Amino acid sequence: MKKNILVTGGAGYIGSHICVELLGQGYDVTVMDNLANSNEKALRRVEEITGKKLRFYEADIRDRSAYDEIFSQNEIYGVIHMAGLKAVGESVRKPLAYFDNNVSGTIVLLEKMKEHHIKRIIFSSSATVYDLTQGECLTEKSPIGNSTSPYGRTKLVIEQMLADLYHSDARWSIVMLRYFNPIGAHVSGRIGEDPNGEPNNLMPYITQVAVGKREKLNIFGNDYDTPDGTCIRDYIHVMDLAGGHSKAVRKLEEQGLFIYNLGTGQPQSVLAVVHAFEKANGLKINYAIAPRRAGDAPKYYANADKAKTELNWEAERGIEDMCRDSWNWQKNNPEGYR
C-alpha cells in the first residue's frame, strides 16, 4: 500500500514543491493549510503537473478537531510539518503571534499525532537556529541559539521540543531539516513563490522588479567584509530542497532523532545573484544600495556532507537554474496565483 504523507502548509511556496516531489515518487499526499499566506490554486497546479490527485483540508494547525478528521479519514504514515509564519521582520513586530502559531500549533500537532499513534515527523527547520556569530561554514554540530529574530527562536524552541519528545519516547522517528535559502521554482513555471505584500526574500523581489511590479531592488548594505561588500548566503533550488524531503521520508523507517542541513555549500553574494539573474535571463535589474538591516550576518553557508552520506542527497541545480526557473514562474504569472 502506498504511504500517505500529511504535509502541513502544503499549499505554500516550499510545501507545493514538496507535494510535486512526493507525488512524483509514488506517495499519496494529504495537505493541511489555512491559506493565510498561500493559495489553493497551487495545489490544483500540483495535480496538473503530476497528473495525480491529493487531498486538501483547509484548517489551522491549532485546530484539534481538524486533526481528528484528517487522521480518522486517512491512514497517515508520517507528517512533514511545514506550516508556520515565516517573515523575520513581522516576527519582530508580532512576537506573540509567531510563538502562538508556530510553537503552540506544533504542540497541538504532536499531541494529536501521539493520540492517533503516528510517530513519524519531518520538521521544516532553518539555518536561523544557528548562532551565526560562531562561524560561517555551518555543520549540524555548529552552535545553535542566539537567534536574531522571534521567527528564528520559534524554530529553535520547536527543535528543542522535538528533541525532548524523542528522549521521552524513543519510538519516535524525527527528522529535522535545516533549510538555507530556497529560491527558484518548478521548471514548468506553474508553481512558484508568491508572497503576500512586499517580499521578504531576495529572489521574489528581483523577479517583481524584472516584471515591472517594483521600481527597484534595495540591497541592504555594501560594506560587509565580503568580496563585493554584500551579504553572502547559501541559495538552494526549491526542487533540490523538495528532493531532500522525499529522501528524509525514507529515513522515517528508522526510529531516532536526525538533523540535516539542506544547502549547496556554494554561497553567493546578493550582488552575484542579481548578476546571475541578469545573465541567465538577458535582463537588467534596477537596484540601489540601502542601509544595512539589523541582524543580518555577513556570511554563512551549509556544510551538507551529512545529508549526502546518510540520506544520499545533494543539491544538483546551480544558481543559473535557480534564476532561470524563478523568472519563468514570474513572467508567466506576473500577479502570482491571483
pLDDT tens for each residue of 319-337: 999 999 999 999 999 999 9
Q: What is the mean pLDDT of residues 295-306?
A: 94
pLDDT at 198 over 90: no
The three three-digit cell numbers of residue 316, written as one number: 544538483
Residue type for position 266:
Q
Helices (H) and strands (E) in the chain, counts: 12, 15
151 classed as catalytic: yes
pLDDT given for residue 148 in this prediction: 83
User: What is residue 231's predicted lDDT score, i.e. its pLDDT?
Assistant: 96
What is the pLDDT confidence band of residue 89, given thresholds at 50, 70 and 90? confident
Task: Give the three cell numbers for residue 27.
Answer: 506517495
> What pLDDT is attached to residue 196?
85
- pLDDT value at residue 230: 97
pLDDT in tens, 240-296: 999 999 999 999 999 999 999 999 999 999 999 999 999 999 999 999 999 998 778
How far is residue 105's CA from residue 122's CA, in Å, rounded to a whole number?
Answer: 15
Convert the pLDDT of each residue in 94-135 to its tens digit: 999 999 999 999 999 999 999 999 999 999 999 999 999 888
Helices (H), 169-292: 202-210, 238-251, 270-281
Quick one: cell of 59? 484548517
Cα gap 259→334, rounded to integer Å: 37
Task: Please give the helix or strand (H or E) that residue 130 lies within, else none.
Answer: none
Domains 4-183+235-263 and 187-232+266-306+320-332 share a fold: no
190: helix, coil or strand?
A: coil
Mean per-residue pLDDT, 132-159? 94
Residues 164 and 141: their CA atoms lie apart, in Å, by: 18
Return the axis-axis angle of helices 105-115 and 64-73, rounded to nearest 10°: 40
Segment among 71-80, 146-155, 259-268 with least mean pLDDT: 146-155
CA dist., res. 243 & res. 191, Å (int): 16
In contact, 243 and 191? CB cutoff 8 Å: no
pLDDT averaged over every residue in the chain: 96
pLDDT band per the 50, 70, 90 thresholds, residue 68: very high
Give me the architecture of the 4-183+235-263 domain, per CATH: 3-Layer(aba) Sandwich (3.40)
Residues 6 or more apart from 254 whose CB is under 8 A from it? Answer: 173
**Overall pTM surpassing 0.95 (yes/no):** yes
Catalytic residue among 57, 67, 151, 300: 151
pLDDT exceeds cutoff 90 at 61: yes
Residue that the C-alpha cell 537556529 belongs to? 129
Name the residue ranges covered by the structural domains of the chain: 4-183+235-263, 187-232+266-306+320-332
229-248: b (≥16 Cβ within 10 Å) or e: bbbbbbbbbbbbbbbbbbbb
Give the pLDDT score at 172.
98
225, amino acid identity: D
What is 187-232+266-306+320-332's CATH number, 3.90.25.10, 1.20.970.10, 3.40.920.10, 3.40.50.970?
A: 3.90.25.10
Q: Which amino acid is at 106?
A: T
Specify the pLDDT at position 197. 83
C-alpha cell recorded at residue 284: 537588467
Whether 21 and 12 have beta carbons less than 8 Å apart is answered as no
